[in-house]
Structure 1
Amino acid sequence: MAVSIRDLDPADPAKVAVRSDMSVRKVKSAVRTVELLEYLAARQDRPARIREICTALDMPRSSAHALLRTLVDQGWVRSDPSGTQYGIGVRALLVGTSYLDSDPYLPVIAPFLDDLRRDLDETFHIGRLDGTDVVYLATRESRQYVRTTNKVGRRLPAHACALGKALLAERFGAERDAAIPGVLTPLTPRTLTDREALDAALDEATIRGYATDDEENTPGVRCFAVALPYLRPAQDAISASVPVHRLNPEREREIVDALRMVCDKVTRVVRPLANGDKWFAG
C-alpha cells in the first residue's frame, strides 16, 4: 500500500526517516524536471532523443521516459509524431514571457535600445547576469546584415561576452569569483580561458568604463558593452554587436560614446524605480 506523508506519525523516528526520504525524492524529481526543461530549451530548434537526454542529465531511461510523458501531457515538452524526439513545449512560453512582462526595467530601457538601433543601425542587446551566465533580455537587430546568433532568452558564459565582462568588471574579490566558473570554457578560439588574462581584461574595462569581446563568442563579430549602474553592483548591461569588417577606430569610438550616453540616460530614469528593488536588494 502506498504511504502518504500525511499518514506518518511525526513522533516515530522510523517514520520521520521515511518522511525525510520521501521529501528528498520529491526534491530530486523537481530538480530533474528543471534540468530537463533547461536542457531542451538550450537546444533551441534541435530535438533531443531520450538517449541524449539520459546521457546529458545522467538520468535512468525509465525515469526520463516517465518524466517526459508527464511533461508532454502537460504541454511543457513536445514530441514528434513517432514519440522519439523531444523539444521544449508551448507552455514554457508562459514562464518566459511572464518574466519579461513583469520586469520593471525593460519597458523603460527598451526605447533607448530602439534609439541606438535607429541612430547607428547596429545590433544592440540588454543582458542580465544570472550566476556565471548572461541572459539576453532584449535585442534590436541591425537592418544591414544577417543577424548574429544572440536571441532573447539565450544564455552565454559571462566571461565570453562583452555584456558579461561589463558586469564582472563591476564586481571584486569573492563577488567576482562567484560569477566566474573554475574552468573558462572557450566558445571560439579567441575566448579568454586564462583567469589572469580575464582579470586583466576586467580591470581594463573598469578603468575605461566599457568592456569588449573580440570574436570571443561569435566569429566575425566584435562587441562593446557598458553596465547599467541603477543597481549596485549592476545586474544589467547594454551592448552593441558589430561585424569586424564594418569597424574602424572612428566607428568604435562612435559606438562606445553612444552606449555611454544611453547608459547615463537610462541610469537617471531607472534609478528611482530601482530603489528598494525586492529582487536584487543586496
Structure 2
Amino acid sequence: MATNGSGPIERYFQIVEIVAASHDGLTLTDIAQLTGLPKPTAHRLVRTLVDLGILASDDTWYKTFRIGARMWRMLHLGVDRDKASAFAQLVVDDLAARFGETAYVVRLDRTGVLSIARSAPDQGHRLHVLPGDHLPAHAAASAKAILAYQDSSMLDAYLTEPLERLTPFTHTSRDEVLAEFEKVRQTGYAICDREIDENIMAYACPVPVDNVGVVYAIGITGPVTRLRKQPAEFWLEPMKAAAQRLSTMVSTLRAD
C-alpha cells in the first residue's frame, strides 16, 4: 500500500517494503498496483533497485522480484552481535575441545574484521583472537577467509597501503594479498603462517550464509610446531563442518 510520502526515496522504500512483505515475490504489475505508481515509473525504480542488489529477479518472462543479496546482507549486519556470538561460542567450544587448540569466530564489521567468540583449552594459544579485537586484514587467516569474498570497494577500504609488516613473513604488497584471496576462493580456506607472530600458525574457513554471503569465518590457531604435526586436512575437515553448523545457526537471525 502506498504511503503519504511522494519523494523519490520514499517511492524506492515503498517498493522494497512491499516486496519484503511478499514471501513469494511480486511481478512488476503487482508492484505498480500495490504502490499506486505508473507502471513505467515502477519499472524504472525496480530496475535501479535490481542494479544495486537491493532487489533480485528470476529469469522468467513475467519476472518475479524478491529481496536481493545486498539487502539481505545489510539486514544481517544489523543483527545484534551478542546473538551471533552466542551461537559462535557453542561452535568454537566444541571445536576447541576436539582439537585441544584455540578456536575462534570473527565477523565483518564496519571498521574491519572483529573477533566475536573464542575458546582456548589449557594448552591453547590465547593471543590475537580476544573477543572484541580487530584482526589485521592482510595477515590473519580468518580475515582473509572473509575478505576474499568481498567486492573491490570493500577491499579498498580494508587494504589501505602501506600494509604493516608484523613479522618477516607478513605480506605487505596488496597484489600478494589479493593473490592469497584468490587462493582462498579456490581452496575454501585461508592460512596465516607466522604472519602475525613468528611462532604461531592459523587455519580459517569462511562461513557462507544464504542470501547474505560471507561475513563470518571460523579459525583454529596454535604454535607452528603443533599445527604442522598434522596435514591441513586434519584441521580443515572438522572446521568446514563447524562452519556449516554455524551458517545454519546464524541464518535464523534477524535484525531487531
Place the TM-score, normalised by the shorter chain, in its bin. Answer: 0.5 to 0.7
2:234 to 254, 263, 268: 254
> Aligned Cα RMSD in Å?
2.4
State whether residues 88 and 116 of structure 2, in contact with CA within 8 Å, keep that contact through their aligned partners in structure 1.
no
The answer as to whether partners of 1:132 and 1:157 remain within 8 angstroms in 2 is no
Q: Map residues 124-273 of structure 1 onto 2, 5 A cutoff.
A: 124-131=103-110, 133-145=112-124, 147-230=126-209, 232-248=212-228, 250-273=230-253
AA partner of residue 106 (structure 2): G
* Matching residue of 1:119: 98
Q: What pairs up with 1:61-100 in 2 under 5 angstroms?
A: none
In 1, Cα distance between the equivalents of 2:189 and 2:90?
21
- Shift in Å, 1:119: 0.8
Distance 2:236 2:202 in 1: 10
Match of 1:10 in 2: none
Contact 1:126 1:138 in 2 (8 A): yes
Whether the aligned pair in 1 keeps the contact of 2:105 and 2:219 (CA below 8 Å) is: yes
Count of residue correspondences: 178
The answer to whether the 8 A contact 1:160-1:186 is kept is no
CA contact (8 A) 2:102 2:125 kept: no
- Tell me, in whole angstroms, the C-alpha distance in 1 between the residues paired with 2:131 and 2:249: 23
RCO (CA 8 Å, sep 6+): is it higher in 1 or 2? Answer: 2
Deviations 1:150-188 (A, max 9, x none): 322222221110111011111132232232213211211
Deviation at 1:257, TM superposition (A): 1.0
CA 133–101 in structure 1, closer or farther in 2 if over 3 Å, else same:
closer
What is the deviation of 1:264? 1.1
Q: Deviations over 1:73-121 (max 9, x none)?
A: xxxxxxxxxxxxxxxxxxxxxxxxxxx9862212122111111011111
Correspondence for 1:7: none
- C-alpha distance 233-157 of structure 1, shift in aligned 2 (>3 A): same
1:94: which partner in 2? none
Tell me how far apart the structure 2 counterparts of residues 167 and 111 of structure 1 sit (CA, whole Å). Answer: 20
C-alpha deviation, 1:249, in angstroms? 6.6
Q: Confirm or deny: 8 A CA contact 2:167 2:197 kept in the other structure.
A: yes
Structure 2 match to 1:30: none
Letter in 1 for 2:174: R
Q: Which amino acid aligns with 2:235?
A: I
> TM-score scaled by structure 2?
0.63
Deviation of residue 124 (structure 1)?
0.9
Inter-partner Cα distance in structure 1 for 2:175 and 2:128: 28
Deviation beyond 6 Å, 4+ runs, structure 1: none
Indicate how the Cα distance of structure 1 residues 209 and 145 shifts in structure 2: closer, same or farther if over 3 A, else same: closer
**Using the alignment, how far apart are the partners of 1:160 and 1:132 within structure 2?**
16
Q: How big is the shift at 1:237?
A: 1.2
Residue type of the alignment partner of 1:200: A
Identity between Structure 1 and Structure 2 (%): 29
Encode CA deviations 1:197-233: one digit per residue, 9 max, x unaligned.
Answer: 1111010001100111111112211111112222633
Q: Amino acid of the residue matched to residue 241 of structure 1?
A: T
Higher helix share: 1
- Looking at structure 2, the residues matched to 212 and 113 of structure 1 have their Cα atoms a distance apart, in angstroms, of 18
Change in Cα spacing, 1:269 to 1:102, as seen in structure 2 (3 Å) is closer
